[in-house]
């Protein structure tokens, strides 16, 4: 992990765990869905418990310039993590989907920007666009879908990144690739997919993630490196925790894609991604 920041022309990403990453791009440090808590739950004594410590401790993070939140589920928006980050990194810009801003701002962040799908906000040299996702939002039984959910495309002068957020497979991946690609790095969820009769509309399984990657690449060849996230940190659904990485490797090979294009990271692992885009 470069400290305090990577070079302006470099792209580095570190897997903290689940959908939380440290994305170092354009000379800035971004966090995605920064979940550092012990449980993905509204209470401390029950709910899915973290099986692996964060790959970077919250107190060990370099300076944070922006945070990308995709939606309000407990495994992605952890109030304790938000409060601590707001105290330690008060200048960070928090980018959230539509109507989630007031909830996040009450937790302490000073600058919160709401985005609708296909709308953009600029942070320094970065152009950050909210992208469509097929999911839902809720923190209680009474607030379902009152706030939006999304992914994010991040464009720097020399790199492009897609962080898909939580999503099922949908037809907009190809449009995202055409409109906002090509991408040097595509972060796609590959876990929490069983039982399929319930989870398929909400989460990609490994085969669907590879298909989404191919849609995003399109004819421009802009898929870059696929990073498999949203697995191996919390036990959320019925598939074995070690199944997603094995299945995504098999699906990648079956699709005839180059072996070096798939990255199944270890917690805390950092990768420097070469630039492919102008």
The position carrying tokens 């990271």 is 265
> What values do phi and psi take at 152, rounded to 5?
-145, 135
**Cα-Cα end-to-end distance for the chain:** 24
Query: Which CATH number applies to 11-272: 2.40.440.10, 2.60.40.10, 3.60.15.10, 3.40.50.1950?
Result: 3.60.15.10
Residue-level pLDDT at 241: 95
Report which of 34, 41, 154 is spatially closest to residue 104, judged by C-alpha positions: 34
- The model's pTM is 0.96
Query: From CA 208, how far away is CA 216, in angstroms rounded?
Result: 12
Per DSSP, helices labelled H in 115-258 are 172-180, 196-199, 206-217, 243-254
Cα–Cα distance for residue pair 113/96, rounded to 1 Å: 6
Residue with structure tokens 């906000």? 121
- The encoded tokens of residue 9 equal 């022309």
> Could you tell me the mean pLDDT of each successive run of 10 residues in the chain, 278 residues long?
94 98 98 97 91 98 98 97 98 98 98 98 98 96 95 97 97 96 96 96 97 85 85 97 97 95 98 77
Token pair, residue 250, equals 């098999």
The DSSP 8-state label assigned to residue 48 in this structure reads P
Nearest Cα residue to 19 out of 156, 191, 160: 191
Residues in contact with 135: Cβ distance below 8 Å, sequence separation at least 6, in sequence order:
71, 149, 165, 166, 167, 168, 202
Tokens of 244: 């997603």
Label residue 269 exposed, middle or buried (CB < 10 Å: 0-12, 13-18, 19+): middle
Q: What is the pLDDT, as a whole number, of residue 276?
A: 64
Phi, psi of 57 (to 5 degrees): -65, 145
Phi, psi of 185 (to 5 degrees): -140, 130
Predicted pLDDT of residue 222: 55
Instruction: Look at residue 221 in the predicted model and tell me its pLDDT.
Output: 47
Cβ atoms < 10 Å from Cβ of 187: 26
- CA 218, distance to chain mean position in Å, is 21
Is the CB of residue 89 less than 8 Å from the CB of residue 140? no
């Amino acid at each position: 992990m470069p400290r305090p920041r990577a070079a302006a022309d470099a792209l580095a990403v570190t897997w903290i765990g689940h959908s939380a990453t440290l994305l170092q791009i354009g000379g800035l440090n971004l966090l995605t869905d920064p979940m550092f808590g012990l449980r993905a739950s509204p209470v401390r004594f029950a709910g899915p418990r973290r099986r692996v410590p964060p790959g970077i401790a919250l107190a060990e993070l370099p300076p944070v310039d922006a945070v990308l939140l995709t939606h309000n589920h407990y495994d992605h928006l952890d109030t304790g993590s938000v409060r601590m980050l707001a105290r330690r990194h008060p200048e960070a810009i928090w980018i959230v989907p539509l109507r989630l801003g007031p909830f996040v701002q009450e937790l302490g962040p000073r600058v919160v920007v709401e985005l609708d799908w296909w709308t953009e906000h600029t942070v320094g040299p970065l152009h950050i666009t909210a992208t469509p996702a097929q999911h839902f939002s809720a923190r209680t039984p009474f607030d379902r879908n009152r706030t939006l959910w999304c992914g994010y495309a991040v464009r720097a002068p020399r790199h492009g990144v897609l962080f898909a957020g939580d999503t099922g497979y949908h037809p907009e991946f190809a449009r995202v690739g055409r409109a906002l690609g090509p991408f040097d790095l595509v972060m796609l969820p590959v876990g929490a997919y069983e039982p399929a009769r319930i989870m398929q509309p909400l989460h990609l399984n490994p085969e669907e993630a590879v298909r989404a990657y191919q849609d995003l690449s399109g004819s421009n060849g802009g898929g870059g490196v696929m990073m498999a996230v949203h697995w191996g940190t919390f036990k959320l659904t019925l598939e074995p925790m070690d199944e997603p990485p094995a299945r995504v490797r098999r699906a990648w090979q079956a699709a005839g894609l180059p072996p070096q294009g798939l990255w199944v990271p270890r917690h805390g692992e950092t990768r420097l991604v070469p630039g492919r885009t102008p």
